[in-house]
Structure 1
Amino acid sequence: MSKSIVETTGSFELVEPNQSVPYNRPAVVEQTHFLTVRQELGQVRVLAVGLDKEATDAEFAHYLKDSEDPVLAIAAFAEKYQGTVYGDSQASAVSTITELTPAQKRAAAKATAPKSDTPPAADTTPPTDTGTQDGAA
């Protein structure tokens, strides 16, 4: 059975009895019915297919760790094990590996927000008339 490089499409891990797909990086897995179903449900994205059976996730993890560019690590690993890389899927590997939590995203947005010397403009919208006056019944 051939192997693939896959990643989850969110911050969750998929676990089978003999393999898993972590939430924070792509992984080398044997293509199983479980993963095929998860792919159809949009929970798994395939980055490379057709890897030789000798390819291991442990070795792939070292490729990712040693590489400055996850896309190049995927391409090099796939080439070593006779696999085919999906062109559109390469960019998604970068987003998975560098995915931030919502709190991290807010902190980054706050830290990179443009600083202005002028204070925010005051609200000059006139009050809305509710149709009643004080003392009216």
Structure 2
Amino acid sequence: MSELSMIKGSCLCGAVNISTSSINHHLAACHCNMCRKWGGAALLGVECNDGISFEGEENIQVYQSSQWAERGFCQKCGSNLFYRLKENNHYYVPVGIFDNADNLVFDLEVFIEEKPNYYSFANETKKMTGEELFSMFSSSSEKE
């Protein structure tokens, strides 16, 4: 893939660099309790399939946040780097990490039942409960 089609970014201190050619241009917000504890607010993330690469991997610390997923962060500056589904190796990356992620569409909010009342987004989005999201994942894995 050409250099122009690569999306690149880094953690706050620059010890970890991320590049991908497989970004989903649909931005989603996750309101689950874990994401809010992890980042202090809803996770605004983009899905990156397994076409993601890291430079400075020795600076990545991984936390097993559940049986099915892990979260990565820079052990030097603490920046959140990714949420990874272990079964299908899909990464969800905080959108703010990327330097050149233009033309994204914010159109989905998940775990809407866990969203606190003190904030809301102005965008018109599809809203899914955690149960609906897990149901979608289980039915798509049954098809594969």
- Larger relative strand fraction: 2
Q: Which has the larger radius of gyration?
A: 1
Please confirm whether the aligned pair reaches a TM-score higher than 0.5, indicating the same fold: no
